[in-house]
Amino acid sequence: MAPPPIAASGYVPFMQPLPVWDYWYLLALPLCAGVAIVYKAIRCRWMKSVPREAAKMAAWIVVGLVGAAAGLWLLVKAFEWAGS
Amino acid sequence: MPEPSRAKVSPPLAALATWVVPGGGYWLLGHRARALTVGITVILLFVVGLLIGGVRALEVPGWDDGGAKIRLVLERRFDEKQEWVRVRPDQEPYYSRGAWVMARNPLSELRAKPWYIAQVLAGPITIASSAASVWASTDPDGPDGDLQPPGATSHGRVNEIGVLYTAVAGMLNLLAMIDASHRARHPEAH
């Protein structure tokens, strides 16, 4: 007898992609935090200041991403208006 | 207070230790807190990337998406010049006589899978995960059988984000390798 298709046999971590199709943009947040933590752990002279500095940097990365997204959205809308 | 550099470590050894175990170079230099912070974060980013995209988000150079080694054979073209062309696993006996692409033409294979260059900088964890990716891609009873490979391929945004996490983990580890070797060379400055 043939085994059930992978999709029907339930989610298996690492063997199947995480079912987060509708929330993919939220996955940018842990990535921003990770980048900020490693960068500040390398740059800061005192490790005690890393949590505060990393939190500030992660917030700025998120603000930059949101700003870039908003800018690109406006650009696309502007091209749509110009084309219509 | 900054953590003092206690041990005398050569810069290449610090870089190599950071590749083998992320944060390992800092550990050798006596920067324990920095080593743990960098190491745990890099490994966590890499593992979360594999969790998001699945282990098959790692495209391993030298192996195709069916888990078979990519092999090339020398073929004569119409203008009598010879060139290396790819043979599929079902094209026997040419396939088993073919040369492995990583032995014959590794640069073209790496150009086709450039993310792997960043991913492998995360250390041996990438090599172990690559073995798991090849295993998860392999169809246990061939293309004509009923069984499916153990792992599923991810697509779209989820695949992109999984690849991004693993590649960023590798690039951050490269940053740590460079910094650890710099600190090993100039211990008085840190």
**pLDDT tens-digit profile of B136-150?**
998 887 767 788 888
Mutate to test the interface with A, among B5, B47, B158 (most CBs of A within 10 A): B158
Asked if B167 and A35 count as a contact pair (C-beta separation under 8 A), the reply is no
Share of chain A above pLDDT 70, in %: 89
| Residues in chain A within 8 Å Cβ distance of B2 | 45-47
Distance CA A49, CA A51 (A): 6
pTM listed for this prediction: 0.87
Per-residue model confidence (pLDDT) at position B186: 85
Res B30 pLDDT > 90: yes
Per-residue model confidence (pLDDT) at position B77: 77
User: In the beta sheet, which residues pair with residue B73?
Assistant: B85
**Is there a contact between B158 and A47 if contact means CB atoms under 8 Å apart?**
no
> Which of B69, B62, B72, B67 minimizes the C-alpha distance to B97?
B72
- The larger pLDDT score, comparing residue B171 to residue B83, is at B171
Per-residue model confidence (pLDDT) at position B188: 72
| Residues in chain A within 8 Å Cβ distance of B162 | 17
pLDDT tens across B101-155, in order? 898 889 999 999 999 999 999 999 999 999 999 999 988 877 677 888 888 888 8
**Is there a contact between B54 and A50 if contact means CB atoms under 8 Å apart?**
no
pLDDT tens across B32-87, in order? 999 999 999 999 999 999 999 999 999 999 998 888 889 988 888 777 788 888 88
> Which of A21, A33, A25, A34 minimizes the C-alpha distance to A73?
A25
Res B190 pLDDT > 70: no
Per-residue model confidence (pLDDT) at position A3: 47
| Residues in chain A within 8 Å Cβ distance of B146 | 2-3
Res B175 pLDDT > 90: yes
| Helix spans in chain B (H) | 11-20, 24-29, 32-53, 94-97, 101-104, 106-112, 115-119, 124-137, 156-185
Distance CA B121, CA A71 (A): 33
Residues of chain A with pLDDT under 50: 1-4, 6-7
Q: How is chain A split among helix, strand and coil, in percent rounded to 5?
A: 75, 0, 20
Per-residue model confidence (pLDDT) at position A83: 86
> Which of B2, B9, B119, B108 minimizes the C-alpha distance to B62?
B108
- The larger pLDDT score, comparing residue A81 to residue B97, is at A81
Distance CA B8, CA B134 (A): 40
Per-residue model confidence (pLDDT) at position B2: 54
Specify the 3-state DSSP secondary structure of B141.
Answer: coil
